[in-house]
Each structure stands twice: as structure tokens, then as C-alpha cells.
Chain A
Amino acid sequence: MNKKLVVSLSPHTYGKDSVTRIMYDVLIALVPAFLVSIYMFGFGALRVTLIAIFSSVLFEYLIQKFMLKVKPTINDGSAIITGLLLAFNVPSNLPWWMIIVGSFVAIGIAKMSFGGLGNNPFNPALVGRVFLFVSFPVAMTSWPVPIVTRFKLIDAVTSATPLSIVKEGLKNNIAASELASKLPSYADLFFGNLGGCIGEVSALALLLGGIYLIYRKVISWHIPVAMIGAVALFSGILWGLNPEKYMDPMFQILTGGVFLGAIFMATDMVTSPMTPKGMIIFGILIGLITVVIRVFGAYPEGVSFAILIMNAFVPLIDKFCKPQKYGVVKVKNG
């Protein structure tokens, strides 16, 4: 034996899981929603998505290479996801430079300044979105009408989202039942024929992606089910109390970012709790905060804020919801 043998500690075999595989699974899961968005918003959606992905990856590369002086890890796919999710969270007519600003905030501030993938406490795409929302409220809330706008790059034909119609209407004391007649049908809501952010319009497409992610064990059912369930439950309670003043739970879960948030944003492993118990608490609280913001807050939509708020509580939840340790409960005396 003149060859050098490798001597390392066990285990000597490893599973097939890799960070890259996980990231690409998330990308695959986002494909149906992406296709629907192109069908609904056409070139505009494609334009926003490409700009967001390209600028996110570029910022990650530049920051890692020239500022942090580490080996760029853009191959792991996580920057692509951030770009794609950011695009999914804005309207399809957003000016290009705003998208780039959003990408910079997402990658540069929310991700890299905390130490890169795995170390960021807040979901980068959501930080980017909320930054844009607060900085450019008008551009972020003028929604192209789907299908009509399909063949135009940037379109002026805009409409309110169902959520903002409701918010305005209720503010002006129009009864919820009357508002319902002005809104798209639940079928339209489910398939995505409504104004809104690029990626959040089709609950069905998002659901398909979610099922794929659960099948591939990238996410577990706990957060999406807890969060969507909580939105339904809490809005259902209010609706039950006064159906003229509050919208029904079906409307609440099918509009806005509930599905996108529940399946792709709140489940971001880096910024969510580690144990099933923790995930359920996390999901329920996001659902609760979402309803509170929508119903009582100033904004028609509350998913992004709710997720970011709960991101901050993850360390606490993880401390509180530890896995049951073997051999601790059943200690016998003697």
C-alpha cells in the first residue's frame, strides 16, 4: 500500500440532499405560477421577472466578489429564487429601476449584510417588496388588468385588486354582500384571473407548486396549512359576527398573497422555525396578523408584513418549541 488512504470520521456515506437541489426544487415549484403570470400579464410579467432575477444574481455576485471577497455562490440558485419571488410580489408594470432597487435591498441589505444564505433573519424577497411598497406606494399598487394587458410591455390599463376594492368599499360603508357582486368570481380568484402581483394571482398554480415541494420534502405541510387555516378561521369568526361588515373566509384566502405567502414565503427554511410544533405556531400567528392588518389596518393586504413580523420571532419560537428529547420525560426514580 503506497497510496494514501482517507481517514475521516463516520459517517462515510451521505444522502443525496444538497442545498442546490433544494433551491432548484423551489424553482421548479414556481414554474406553474410563472406560466400563469405570463398568460395573464404577458410581456410585462416576463420583463419584471427577468430584470429581478438578473439584478439579484448580479448583486449577489458583485457583493461576494468585490466587497466580501469570498467565492461567489450564485450557482446555489438561492439568488435566482430571491429574484423570482421578488418579481412575484410586484405588479407587472413596475418601472425597471424600481425592480433593480428592490433587488438591491433584497440581496444587498436583507441577505448579504447578515452573512449570506442561511444567516438572514428576514426573508430577502419580502424585505425588498416591503421596501418598494413603502417607498413607491403608488407604483406598487397600480395593477394592470390581466389578459387585457397581455401584449403590452407596460400598460396603463389598471384596476384595483379585489382586496383594495373591498377595503375602499367597506370604508365607505358599502355592505360586504353588495361589494361581492363587483368582485371576480371565486373561480376567477382560484385560477388567477384578477389584478394583483405577478405571482400571487393563481391559487391553483401556487398549490401545484406547494404539492411538489411537499412531495420532495423541501417543505412540510405545517406552515401552509396552519397559515391558510388561520386566515380562514379568524376571518370566518369576523364574518360570522357580521357578514355585512366583513368578507367571507373563502374570499380572504383566495385573494392577495395568502397562497404565495403560505407556500413560498413563510416556508422559507432560513427564516422559519425548525420543528413542526414551532411551524404551526408560526403559521397560525401569520394568519392572525394578516387578518388583523387586512381588516383593521391601513393596508388592504397584510401577508408580507405578517411574515416579516413573525420572522423576527423565529429564534424565540425555536427556543420554545424544542423537539421532545429522548429519555427526558420518562425518568424513573431509583
Chain B
Amino acid sequence: MSVYKNLKTFPVGGIHPEDHKLSAAKAIEFLKIPDIISIPVSQHLGAPAKPIVQINDRVKVGQVIAESGGYVSTNIHASASGIVSKIDNVMDASGYKRLAITIKVEGDDWFEGIELSPDIKKEIILSKEEIIAKLQKDGIVGLGGATFPIHVKLTPPKGKIADILLINGVECEPFLTSDHRLMIEKGEEILIGTQIIMQALGVSESLVGIESNKPDAIEHLSKLAKNYNGICIVPLKVQYPQGAEKQLIEALTSRQVPIGGLPIDVGVVVQNVGTAFAVYESIQKNKPLVERVVTVTGKNVQNPSNFLVRFGVPISNLIEAAGGLPNETGKIISGGPMMGKALNTPDVPVTKGTSGILLISEAESKRGEVLNCIRCAKCVGHCPLGLEPYLLMSLVEKGFYDQAQQEQILNCCECGSCAFTCPADRPLLDYIRLGKSIINQRLREKSPK
């Protein structure tokens, strides 16, 4: 099957969901900007940005329209040019109404100084500090799904030093292909972005992990990487959830992040390939983060595609462009089938965290009947973090939160492997999430702040 031998992967647990990379061969297409877009001011982890424009202001693409609301926060830029028509709450993918800036689109005027030519600029001229400041200014966040502002990750706390940068090109979620396409079409830019991040971190080694089901991306990047010092492409075994930070770190470096710790505690910083590309555009082209690649897919989708989409474009537009909503759609998911979030309406905007839109048929949307646990231990064997999901679920059910905490329920990364594999269709992860939120709530109440 695979041409690669002795592929690395993380050592414990994991599953093999069926692969459906329907849009893997579809080149990235630019999606037409609709007449009206709503740009949420909270598209990243941390404090929402604060709007600095007023109604009827004329804005250009790339112009800052909301300023960073704190250290863990970034700027938000206009992703289309036109007139600010509304600053009001709109429904976003979270299912809640939150503040967004609505723009009536006119033309496609970019802010001064942003370079739009496709010419590749290799030479990095900015210093470490300048790079980090610029990335914050340009609103760069982790595009792998967590949307954590990059400048925070690039500024390790005192006493902690990074010695290796990992670039996540795993894309282990079935169906999603946006990172895959980006690696094939923007390989050079991704590697330059990687070098920029290495420089900002002061590390001389970087590993790019890619699962072996993307041989074209591995081959392409390996060829390019020969010209870049310290960047090595590592093919990985296909094993979900390898794209999860902790699993990727273990697969590539055999290091384990201590419980309650961060990757930096073991000298590692992880960035996604999409982020590396955004870093390239910010530093080399002066282009803030206003768009991203989004996969639109599903077994019944007429034309599964990869679109380059401006933030704020409604998801319904993407579905339309991929051939429309199939009749038998039961679920619309933002993200992949394993960790994505079900939406209650497609009328929400694409944001920095939107990696894909997956349409699932009605038949496949329904869960099976919940049976008694038959103690088959599959959930235990497949948990990549060595947890005992059946036990955690029953502790939460009984309200034994202290015990659940002792069993490290908070370390669960919500990968869903346990629920995926349970033959009794037990809603393991639902209960684990519930337990986590109750325990976190209690911890917050207890903490002195």
C-alpha cells in the first residue's frame, strides 16, 4: 500500500476512520465575494477585538477595522472593500449572536502597501521582534482550528525555550483537504513561512509532519525542502488524531507534554501549514489575514471543492458554490466529522477557524440506540491519552467529579476516538465534556482571582 517504510506515529490508541478526501484533486478556487459580508470581531481565542470603524465608513481590504482587545487577542481586518453598514450582533458558528462588522461590498480595493503579486520573496529582512509584532498586527492566528494568536506562542514564557518547530500538515480529519491543497499549491511559501517562524523562535530545526495518504504533498515539499536549511519533511502513518498537538509532538519527537503543561514545556512549538502560509503573506507581502482555504465536501455534495474564502462570507454561499445543499442533508458541520461542530443554520460567516464545511446525510446524522457498556475496552484501547472513557462517563453520570478529575478527565483532548469506536453507541464524549465543564467551573470558583 504505502511506499513509505517504518512510518512514525504516536504510540498509544488512535483510530482509522474511513478516508473520504473527495476534494483532494480540486485546485483552490477563489470564491466570489457576495454583496454583503459580516465580519465577527471574535475570530480567535482570547479577548474579542474592539471595533474602530463607524457606520458609513469606507474601508479597504486589509484595513484594520477592530483592534486587538488585549495580549491574547489580535486585530481584525476588513476582508472586503466597501461601506460599513452595521455594527451589531449576528449569529456565528458558535450558535450565539456576537458582535460583527457588516460591510456593503463595493469593488475589491486593497489597503495601501499590500503586495498582491504571486512573486515569491525568499529573503527575510525583519528581526525576531519585528516579526512577532507584525504577526500580531496582521491578525495571524493558528489556522488548524484552535485559532490561538500566533504572537503568544512565539513568545515563550520566561525560562522556557523552544528548540524545535513542528509544522502540522497532518490533516487527519477525514474529508478535509484544505491543508493538502495548500501544500501542493503553496509549498514554497509554506517553507518560507516556516523559516520565518523558526527565526522568530530562534530555533534551527523544523519538522513538517504529513500523513502518508498525501504522497503528492510529501514528495513536493520534500523536493522543495532541499533548498531550506533545517527543514525536514516527515511522512507519518495514517492514524487519527495525529493532527492533535500532543499526538503530533509525540509522533515526531517522542516527547510527552506533562499533564496541565504546554508544548513549550518540552521545547516544542507547533504551527499548522495554513498558519505558515499566512505568516509568509504577512511578513513577506505585508498582507494581513483576511481569507483562508475552506473545503466544502460530503458524500452527497455535487461538487466537493476547496475555496479561498474571505472571512465573513456566509457558509451558505460556499455550499451553493459546491453545487447546493443536497436534499437529504441532516447535518451541516463546521470542520471535520471527528471534531467539527454541527451548525443550526448555514447563515453564519466563515471565520479564521473554519477549515471545512461538511454536509452529512439525514440517515448518517442519527446516532444509534445507547446500550449498556459491555466492557469491551475498545474505548480504553483507542484513547490516545491513556484515559478510561467508560469509567469517566460513569463517574460523571453519578456526579463523582472529584474522582473524574483524579482520573485526568481534564486531559481529554475531545478527539472522539472513544465514542467513534464504542459498539454500544455510548455518548462517552458528551459526558466527558459535561464533566470537564463542571470541573472547570468549580476550579474557577475556587481560584482566588
User: Interface residues, chain A, CB within 8 Å of chain B?
Assistant: 1, 3, 5-15, 17-19, 21-22, 73, 76, 115-119, 269-272, 274-275, 322-332, 334
Q: How far does the Cβ of A290 sit from chain B's closest Cβ, in whole Å?
A: 23
Residues B342 and A5 in contact, CB atoms below 8 Å apart: yes
Within 8 A of A (CB), among B362-389: 362, 364-368, 371-378, 380, 383-388
Interface residue? B174 (CB, 8 A): yes
Interface residue? B411 (CB, 8 A): yes
Residues B372 and A8 in contact, CB atoms below 8 Å apart: no
Please list 26 pairs of residues, one from A and one from B, whose beta carbons are closer than 8 Å in the complex, sorted by A's number.
A1-B345, A1-B347, A3-B329, A11-B419, A12-B331, A13-B338, A14-B419, A14-B420, A14-B425, A17-B378, A18-B423, A18-B425, A19-B371, A22-B376, A115-B372, A116-B372, A117-B372, A117-B374, A323-B12, A323-B386, A325-B386, A326-B259, A326-B385, A327-B246, A327-B411, A330-B256
Using CB atoms, name the residue of chain A closest to B383.
Answer: A323
Residues A8 and B367 in contact, CB atoms below 8 Å apart: yes
List 8 additional A-B contacts (Cβ < 8 Å) besides A12-B340, A326-B259.
A5-B329, A7-B343, A10-B335, A12-B337, A14-B419, A117-B371, A327-B259, A330-B258
Q: How far does the Cβ of B39 sit from chain A's closest Cβ, in whole Å?
A: 22
Interface residue? B433 (CB, 8 A): yes
Interface majority SS (helix, strand, loop, mixed), chain B: loop
- Bound-state Cα–Cα, A316 to B243, Å: 36
Q: How far does the Cβ of B350 sit from chain A's closest Cβ, in whole Å?
A: 17
**Contact-residue bracket for chain B:** 35 or more
The 5 closest A-B pairs by CB, nearest first: A11-B416, A118-B372, A274-B377, A13-B337, A17-B423
Interface residue? B159 (CB, 8 A): yes
User: Which of A10, A21, A334 is within 8 Å of B423, CB to CB?
Assistant: A21
Residues A13 and B364 in contact, CB atoms below 8 Å apart: yes
Q: Which residues of B contact A269 (CB under 8 A)?
A: 374-377
Q: Which residues of A contact B256 (CB under 8 A)?
A: 326-327, 329-330
Q: Which residues of B contact A270 (CB under 8 A)?
A: 374-375
Q: How far does the Cβ of B141 sit from chain A's closest Cβ, in whole Å?
A: 21
Using CB atoms, name the residue of chain A closest to B374.
Answer: A118
Interface residue? B341 (CB, 8 A): yes
- Bound-state Cα–Cα, A14 to B362, Å: 14
Interface residue? B414 (CB, 8 A): yes
- Bound-state Cα–Cα, A275 to B382, Å: 11
Q: How far does the Cβ of A247 sit from chain B's closest Cβ, in whole Å?
A: 35
- Bound-state Cα–Cα, A137 to B47, Å: 76
Residues B337 and A11 in contact, CB atoms below 8 Å apart: yes
Q: How far does the Cβ of A222 sit from chain B's closest Cβ, in whole Å?
A: 11
Q: Which residues of B contact A115 (CB under 8 A)?
A: 372
Residues B386 and A326 in contact, CB atoms below 8 Å apart: yes
Q: Which residues of A contact B340 (CB under 8 A)?
A: 10, 12
- Bound-state Cα–Cα, A13 to B17, Å: 8
Interface residue? B424 (CB, 8 A): yes
Residues B339 and A118 in contact, CB atoms below 8 Å apart: no
Residues B344 and A5 in contact, CB atoms below 8 Å apart: yes
- Bound-state Cα–Cα, A1 to B329, Å: 11
Residues A22 and B374 in contact, CB atoms below 8 Å apart: yes
Q: Which residues of B contact A327 (CB under 8 A)?
A: 246, 256-259, 261, 385, 411
Within 8 A of A (CB), among B402-418: 408, 411, 414, 416
Residues A12 and B338 in contact, CB atoms below 8 Å apart: yes
Q: Which residues of A contact B346 (CB under 8 A)?
A: 1
Residues B377 and A5 in contact, CB atoms below 8 Å apart: no
Q: Which residues of A contact B372 (CB under 8 A)?
A: 115-119
* A6 with B338, Cβ < 8 A, contacts A17-B422, A22-B374 known: no
Residues A332 and B375 in contact, CB atoms below 8 Å apart: no
Using CB atoms, name the residue of chain A closest to B265.
Answer: A332
- Bound-state Cα–Cα, A1 to B319, Å: 12
- Bound-state Cα–Cα, A95 to B113, Å: 95
Q: How far does the Cβ of B378 sit from chain A's closest Cβ, in whole Å?
A: 7
Residues B338 and A11 in contact, CB atoms below 8 Å apart: yes
Residues A275 and B15 in contact, CB atoms below 8 Å apart: no
Interface residue? B360 (CB, 8 A): yes
Q: How far does the Cβ of B411 sit from chain A's closest Cβ, in whole Å?
A: 7
Q: How far does the Cβ of A223 sit from chain B's closest Cβ, in whole Å?
A: 12
Residues A9 and B368 in contact, CB atoms below 8 Å apart: no
Residues B423 and A324 in contact, CB atoms below 8 Å apart: no
Interface residue? B421 (CB, 8 A): yes
Q: Which residues of B contact A330 (CB under 8 A)?
A: 255-256, 258
User: Which of A18, A274, A331 is within 8 Å of B375, CB to CB?
Assistant: A274
Residues A12 and B17 in contact, CB atoms below 8 Å apart: no
Q: Which residues of B contact A15 (CB under 8 A)?
A: 15, 17, 420-421
